[in-house]
Amino acid sequence: MDEETITLLGLESSCDDTAAAVVRLSGGKGAILSSVVAGQTDLHAAFGGVVPEIAARAHVEKIDLCAEEALANAGASLGDIDGIAVTAGPGLIGGVLAGVMCAKGMSAATGLPLLGVNHLAGHALTPRLTHGLPFPYLMLLVSGGHCQFLVVEGAERFRRLGGTIDDAPGEAFDKTAKLLGLPQPGGPAVEAEARKGDPARFAFPRPLLDRPGCDLSFSGLKTALLRARDGVIAEKGGLTGVDRADLCAGFQAAVADVLAEKTRRALDAYLASGPEFPSLAVAGGVAANAAIRARLETVASGAGTRFVAPPLALCTDNAAMIAWAGIERFRLGHRDGLDLVARPRWPLDIAQPALIGSGKKGAKA
């Protein structure tokens, strides 16, 4: 049995959530002792998106309070922890800097080791915290800012099999909601409408299915939705509830079809390397979509692969995943110094040529 015990404080501030958490590795298992997330939705609501300067200022105001609260909730003080893990990128640079400076301050004051964590590694390693998943597993990250297939081979070894060449699916859900007058974030609203609608009424494209590989594209779907909406409006002078539900159902079915087929191909590529415990894990807000999740589960079981979805609060942005990724680095012997740099861009798979826009658009990662 692994007797190693490591307790880290994690800090996250790369987008619009200020978060802190205390996570412990003990007996080979991870446990979340506390996790605090302070969202900023209200601050950005009037602007229709995240305003980087407002986000950065709010992180500066909140990050130390979140850290204090996380320590208190864990019944711990700085003297009880072994180090401080902090998101050092990718993300909105003002926010990342706020977290990195806070972590450096604490490290300088206490002498505790500092660990810079890649935010995407945080997402990608979460199934090891929640399910103890062994390497290598296939990870599909689907959020408002990201969509990529990664083979997670080690705590610092990620092989990207493909990803979006334009929008992320969550972004497409949000834009669809906007175009149909539904509330933000769009995903849950579109999903609720889609449940009532007929997915066959509108013929939406399935972008890039005709091309080999597992790259994806979602910007054409958004345009198709706009055209279909305008077609109905031109014909009838407006949208009925049924029209809206049918548009949502058609759009969601297209996203689900594309994600399912590309996941099947990514699984093929991953399985070809002969993993001992074949597993497909998902993370990101879009993985909350029941219809999409069910399709991915079917794809996984069809390929004899275990399907793992961490609880939603750990799929979306949080600091427990940062503390955990820090623990994974810590046990490999890594430590960062006070010269740790905040990075707005930081691809996980540096061996791969960057995609157009690195598959990253918008504020979220």
Residues near ligand KG4 (CB under 6 A) are: 143-145, 170-171, 173-174, 185-188, 191, 284-286, 288-289, 316-317, 364-365
Given Zn ion, ligand KG4, none, residue 14, with its beta carbon under 5 to 8 Å by kind, binds none
- Give the residue with the Cβ less far from ligand KG4, 83 or 186: 186
What is the SS3 assignment for 274?
Answer: coil
Please give the C-alpha separations between residue 318 and each of 48, 61, 193, 283, in angstroms, as whole numbers: 22, 17, 28, 12
Shortest Cβ 312–ligand KG4 spacing (Å): 8
Shortest Cβ 347–ligand KG4 spacing (Å): 16
Given ligand KG4, Zn ion, none, residue 289, with its beta carbon under 5 to 8 Å by kind, binds ligand KG4
Residues 278-317 that bind Zn ion (CB under 5 A): 317
Beta bridge partners of 307: 280
- Give the residue with the Cβ less far from ligand KG4, 49 or 241: 49
Number of neighbouring beta carbons within 10 Å of residue 345? 12
- Give the residue with the Cβ less far from ligand KG4, 233 or 294: 294
Burial class (CB in 10 A: 0-12, 13-18, 19+), 115: buried
What is the SS3 assignment for 44?
Answer: helix
Give the closest residue to 4 by CA, choosing from 332, 343, 228.
Answer: 332
Give the closest residue to 144 by CA, choosing from 170, 178, 106, 180.
Answer: 170
Rg (CA), the chain: 21
- Give the residue with the Cβ less far from ligand KG4, 115 or 141: 141
Shortest Cβ 2–ligand KG4 spacing (Å): 31
- Give the residue with the Cβ less far from ligand KG4, 6 or 286: 286
Shortest Cβ 125–Zn ion spacing (Å): 13
Number of neighbouring beta carbons within 10 Å of residue 334? 14
Binding site for Zn ion (CB under 5 A): 317, 365
